[in-house]
Copies of this chain bind each other. A is one copy, B any other.
Amino acid sequence: MTRSLVRISELAHQAGVSIPTLKYYIREGLLPAGTAVAPNRADYGDDHVNRLRLIRTLREIGGLDIGRIKRIVSAIEDDSLSRHELFGVVERARAADVAEPASSETAASRREVDRFIEELGWHVRPDAAGRQEVANALVALRRLGRDYDADIFRPYAEAADRMAAREVRSIATAEPHSVAVERMVVGTVVFGAVFDALRRLAHEHHSSGSD
């Protein structure tokens, strides 16, 4: 990696973003300020280019807004977080916006989902956002007249388990922390989007000739 510094216009060009956007990211704390080389001039290095590409990926592929990206970037910069903790932050930042209002129906579903996750033997925070998302999905299915219990999600949990095990393994422990966390974040977001797109395409494929 070269250590050459570039001016803000060149950084914008290299990263494919506008200068106002760049300045906005710096103000918002998503991007560190450049190195001051003159009273009105700062220069930027490869770390800035890489960070900008990461932000762009989270925004364009992951569909995340600036607030969520900021939480992820702060976690990446926090060397004190373990990978487990970082995955927790990313999990939360990618959570669905819409929370089901509390009701006895959702509370019961949530307990069922918590039990289901315990049966899977998964080690995840009690307040992980995904637990409530799965519980909300169960409530929605029942409202639509499907008499399901959480076990209907077992094939999905097994597929998710296999996929995540492979993905976490692929982050070699030998890598420096900063590289590993960037890979984790990118992997979670980009491969998640890819899987969702491929599943939709596979539905289209498997339904051909079905009627």
A-B contact pairs, 8 of them (CB 8 A): A83-B211, A87-B203, A124-B204, A157-B198, A159-B159, A161-B205, A165-B206, A196-B196
Closest residue on chain B to residue A161 by CB atoms: B202
Q: Does A20 contact B (CB under 8 A)?
A: no
Known A161-B202, A204-B128; contact A173-B210, beta-carbon cutoff 8 A: yes
Chain B neighbourhood of A18, CB < 8 A: none
Of A4-12, A30-38, A66-74, A131-139, the one touching chain B? A131-139
Q: Does A155 contact B (CB under 8 A)?
A: yes
Q: Are A61 and B205 in contact (CB under 8 A)?
A: no
Q: Which of A131-180 contact B (CB under 8 A)?
A: 131, 133-134, 136-137, 140-141, 143-145, 153, 155-157, 159-169, 171, 173
Q: Which of A110-135 contact B (CB under 8 A)?
A: 117, 122-125, 128-131, 133-134
Q: In the bound complex, what is the Cα–Cα distance between A98 and B65 (angstroms)? A: 12
